[in-house]
Amino acid sequence: MKKILFYSFLLVGFAAMSILSSCSCKRTFNDQEFQGPGIVGAPAGFTGVTDAFTACDMNHSCSPLNDTTNTSKQLVMGQPFPTGSNVFPAFHATLSNRVTWFLTIKGNQSGAIKTFTATSQIIDETNALWMGRTDGNEFMKGGEGVTATLTFLNSELSYTLGLKILNSALLAPYNYEKNPVAPAIKGKLMEDYDQSSIGTAFGMRTTYADLNDGNVKASFVMKTNQRVQGDFSLYMHGTDYNGNGYLGGFSNENLTELGMSHVITTHDASEFYYNAYVYGYGRPNSCLMFLLYEDDDASGLYNPLNDDNWQYIQEINWIGWKLVSIKQSDFKAASNPQSGGNGNRIREPYKVIGCAMELQSYPTPGKEVEASVDYVYFSEGGPLIK
Amino acid sequence: MNKNVFLLAIVIWVTAVTANAQVLNKNTTFKIGGLGRSILTSDKLQGNLVDNDTISPAKGLGGYTLFDLNMDLTINKIFNANAILRVKNPYGSFYGQDTYFEFRQLQFNGQIGRSLKYELGDIYIGMTPYTVFNAKDPSASRFEADAFKVRRDILEYENFYVGNKWRLQGVQLFYNVDSVAIFDRISVNLFGVRTNATNEQAIPDRILAGGRLDVTQSKFLRFGVNMVTFTDLPVAKTTTVLKNTVWSGDLGLKWENDALLLGASIEGGTSSYSFSNKSADTSNAYDDYFYQPEVRVNVKPVKLNLTASYRNVGAQFSSPTAQTQRVNVGVNPSIFPMVNQNTTNRGQMAFDRITDEKVYNRNIQTILGAFLPQYGNITPYGQATPNRVGFSATLATDTSLHNIALEVSVDMLSEIKGEGTDALRKFTGIKAGASVDIGGLAKINRLITLSGGIRTENTMRDGAATVDFKSTLIDAGLAVETLKRVDLIFGMKTLAAKGNEYLVNRDQFNLVNSFTAYNYDGSENIYSGGLRFRFADYAQASVIYNTSQVTRNNLSTSNYTFNQLFMSFILKF
């Protein structure tokens, strides 16, 4: 009896395995020839470009763009959306064979890189239209020359082309390429630390250090060798000698940039983002507090006795540049009545009138801390995605 | 409050109340264990990578002292609480200013009734190589030198790697019953963990749940059924939702006499994946399957095991809990992370993979991670690496042989579906290694161990986008007990690789969406030597000097040598 049960069970086991196997015999993409886009190496006899490797102005009937030595036809990149007469270059070449090619555009000063790759015989606006975005964090610089290099898989041939960015670097966030007239995400640059020196009334140029830290207060200086966009970033460094966690910051309580154009229209705090590129130096306890000031009493000015001050603490636990994007719905109201928190306690992005960032020693006070900030940007509809 | 968190809180509360009602009986015990470790490293980077660099740090001194206090309270068999409290103090902090305290582990466990065991909190989960499996780094060798093992032990401890299990947070149940009808034993293991927490706004809770039914009919027959599923629990503004389910069944047969053991087994299963992104108005779903039959012969008189298997793992077989890599190649190393005037990431070298605990993953990744072909190109995601078909065979000494361990294995695999072309990559891998306990063989009461291993990999693809990539990894190690409990230890690891490959980039659906051409011609040589003092079974100290030379033949400005003096004191009790 036991044997019968044993063999019965064995059969059931195999039957179960068979059922499982038959159920699983399904490969959704089995009919596809291969995975991903096609790649083709240069065959024997490949002679590269058969006409000329050129770039043309895509927005103006593809008229030719000259190189860096001719300023009459230069690449104008990244006017702040939605206005501005942009020139977007489309690269052109006809190849002797269908092959996988790589187009690398590199900023001669910034080192920023944009790459295109495809497998085709024709290179044109359908596969090599550059609208100014770059692959990494680094932005191209206004006024710099860029070098476009065309290479091919399994070939030593290469072609180069020089262009110049006439104006500022790319400023538009995500989706701008798809719909430059009415982008899904809109916003405005608040500060890039490139317009003038610290101390002016524009942007976030007002810096201040904790007076209670004694004679050696934190420093806030422009720095060129840690920039993500333009020429400078704001470098912050200091030690929290008095152990209160606070080292100072930079702000503008009444941002001219907001007052002039009323860029924030949404009433939904989860749609409004405070974005900034932050450089971390790997120093523990380095932290930035992001602050947003609202004009609740409609006085046209931020007044901590009547208005709300919203705060968000961001620990800087990375090395290098990182885009930090925080939506207002994640901010907490200031708890100290002396520094805001006296408004209606409702997050109202359309009432935001100013902003700040403070360098802190957090979570452990009393430490030496360090960070850099560049390209502070308010966006509506989504975070800044370069 | 999230529904799941609330339920978990109720379970913990009920358990705690039950335990409280029965405290301090004669079965109550309180045990203390722990681990203390002190590490000091002196590091130096030199070579043409940093020759003209005036900004990036190239010298440094670092280290820390830490103590993990393991407190284990058993009220009775129903309730046991285990907590590990960590105190860590980096060197260089002033009067303990950087000292921090954290709970490294918190777990409740116990037994309810005769057969049901439970675990709550930090739990370890593991099933089969295709369902839940924490596969080892492909560049790690079983025959690695003791000089490297000291470092690997630390990073495995720090990353909670115990065997091939993942350490996650949730609840786990075990149910075992013996002698049921014709079965010797029936075991059920169920678990539920949360791998990602919601922000209550847009990010959903991500729940991983699964289990295994394991039935041992007799010493001749065993079978099991496994299931593991990822599910997102959407909240108000969730835009992305993932669902991934893997089912598998396994069957094992075994027969043996005094001279021979014959075994046959098979595991087969299916995966079902779906992902939707509302904000981009896009979604995708796909299914795939795998199977792996295996035969095993153990010739007992000669103490040898021969295993031969065939595998077919579909290109879209998706099993994140079995395919997540230990090493995350995207993470920059902790020591000297930046070069080129502090503007460029240094990137990982082989020595970082042995010593830097920060480059290792602790979480499950739902998109196949990037990998570097020189460190392992055949099965970078472990046995469950998708898009592989072919044969593998291993000949190894069995565990009854104490003083000598030998192993030779061969992989003859190919892709099932081409990547970017209909031509298929063909992979050939050979591994061999040996470890000899000379002290044991000579019957002298001294530790003298010699070990060595070699791994060669060859990847080829014909057609319009050819691939030709070869790598050779050699390990050698020697440990000699010169004075009583004082060992001289030496280790060497060399990696040489050359050729071209294409690195795969994947989209949000874990599908191939582009390739990056990868040309590599270089080598890495690591030499380590030092002293190890084994004060007692529970305490040891070591002083090891390491030098790691990184050479790029096709990128000569990237060559460098990393020198490190490593001192450690480790206490376990």
* Token pair belonging to B268: 């087969």
The Cα of A255 is separated from the nearest Cα of chain B by a number of Å equal to 29
A-contacting residues in B 100-139 (Cβ below 8 Å): 100
**CB–CB of A40 and B268 under 8 A?**
no
| Pairwise pLDDT comparison (B325 vs A161), residue with the higher score | B325
**CB–CB of B268 and A21 under 8 A?**
yes
pLDDT digits (tens, 9 = 90+) for A19-54: 455 455 688 887 888 998 888 989 889 999 998 888
Q: Which residues of A touch B223 (CB under 8 A)?
A: 13, 17
Instruction: Indicate the domain borders of chain B.
Output: 3-572
Q: What is the pTM of this model?
A: 0.77
B302's CB contacts (< 8 A; 6+ apart) are none
Residue with tokens 């030998």: B406
Lowest mean per-residue pLDDT among A61-65, A295-299, A318-322, B327-331:
A61-65
B545 touches chain A (CB under 8 A): no
Q: Which residues of A touch B514 (CB under 8 A)?
A: 36-37, 117
How far, in Å, CA of B234 to CA of B241, rounded? 7
Q: Report phi then psi at B146, rounded to 5.
A: -60, -30
pLDDT of B407 > 70? The answer is yes
Query: If DSSP states are collapsed to H, E and C, what string results for A175-217?
Result: CCCCCCCCCCCEEEEEECCCCCCCCCCCCCCEEEECHHHCCCC
B175's CB contacts (< 8 A; 6+ apart) are B115, B116, B117, B187, B188, B189
Residue of chain B with shortest Cα separation from A111: B343
The whole-number pLDDT of residue B494 equals: 97
The whole-number pLDDT of residue A2 equals: 56
Residue of chain B with shortest Cα separation from A321: B343
pLDDT of A81 > 70? The answer is no
For residues B91 and B569, is the Cβ–Cβ distance under 8 A?
no
Instruction: Quote the Cα angle for B495-B500-B506, to 5°.
Output: 100
How far, in Å, CA of A301 to CA of A255, rounded? 10
Cα-atom radius of gyration of chain A, to the nearest Å? 28
Q: Catalogue all structural domains in chain A, each as residue range(s) with its CATH number.
A: 54-164 (2.60.40), 186-380 (2.60.120.430)
Number of residues written out for chain B: 573
**CB–CB of B97 and A367 under 8 A?**
yes
**CB–CB of A25 and B289 under 8 A?**
yes
Q: Is the peptide bond before A180 cis (omega within 30 degrees of 0)?
A: no
The whole-number pLDDT of residue A110 equals: 84
The Cβ of residue A231 has, within 10 Å, a number of other Cβ atoms equal to: 16
pLDDT digits (tens, 9 = 90+) for B135-169: 999 999 999 999 999 899 999 999 999 999 999 99
pLDDT of B466 > 50? The answer is yes
| Pairwise pLDDT comparison (B214 vs A226), residue with the higher score | B214
Residue with tokens 């590269």: A48
**CB–CB of B316 and A28 under 8 A?**
yes
Q: Which of B97, B182, B464 is facing A366, going by the closest CB pair?
A: B97
Whole-number Cα distances in Å, A5 to A13, A315, B183, B266, B544: 12, 64, 10, 22, 62
Q: Nearest CA to B228 among B153, B132, B296, B299?
A: B132
Return the number of CB contacts < 8 Å for A and B.
134
Q: Which residues of A touch B312 (CB under 8 A)?
A: none
* Token pair belonging to B567: 């001192």
For chain B, the average pLDDT equals: 90
Mean pLDDT value across residues A86-113 = 88
Q: Which residues of A touch B99 (CB under 8 A)?
A: none
Instruction: Determine the distance from the C-alpha atom of residue B398 to the mean position of all C-alpha atoms in its chain, rounded to a whole number.
Output: 23
pLDDT of B526 > 90? The answer is yes
- CATH code of the domain made up of B3-572: 2.40.170
Determine the residue among A24, A27, A235, A270 to mutate to test chain B binding: the one whose Cβ has the most chain B Cβ atoms within 10 Å. A24
For residues B189 and B214, is the Cβ–Cβ distance under 8 A?
yes
Burial class for A1, CB neighbours closer than 10 Å (0-12, 13-18, 19+): exposed
Q: Which residues of B touch A29 (CB under 8 A)?
A: 286, 315-316, 417
**CB–CB of A270 and B517 under 8 A?**
no
The whole-number pLDDT of residue A298 equals: 85
Instruction: Determine the distance from the C-alpha atom of residue A345 to the mean position of all C-alpha atoms in its chain, rounded to a whole number.
Output: 30
pLDDT of B110 > 90? The answer is yes
Residue of chain B with shortest Cα separation from A285: B98
The whole-number pLDDT of residue B202 equals: 67
For residues B495 and B457, is the Cβ–Cβ distance under 8 A?
no
**CB–CB of B464 and A41 under 8 A?**
yes
**CB–CB of B504 and A36 under 8 A?**
yes
**CB–CB of B419 and A13 under 8 A?**
no
B390's CB contacts (< 8 A; 6+ apart) are B310, B311, B411, B412, B413, B414, B427
Residue of chain B with shortest Cα separation from A101: B517
Beta bridge partners of B406: B434
pLDDT digits (tens, 9 = 90+) for B301-333: 999 999 999 999 999 999 999 999 999 998 889
**CB–CB of A34 and B502 under 8 A?**
no
The whole-number pLDDT of residue A129 equals: 87
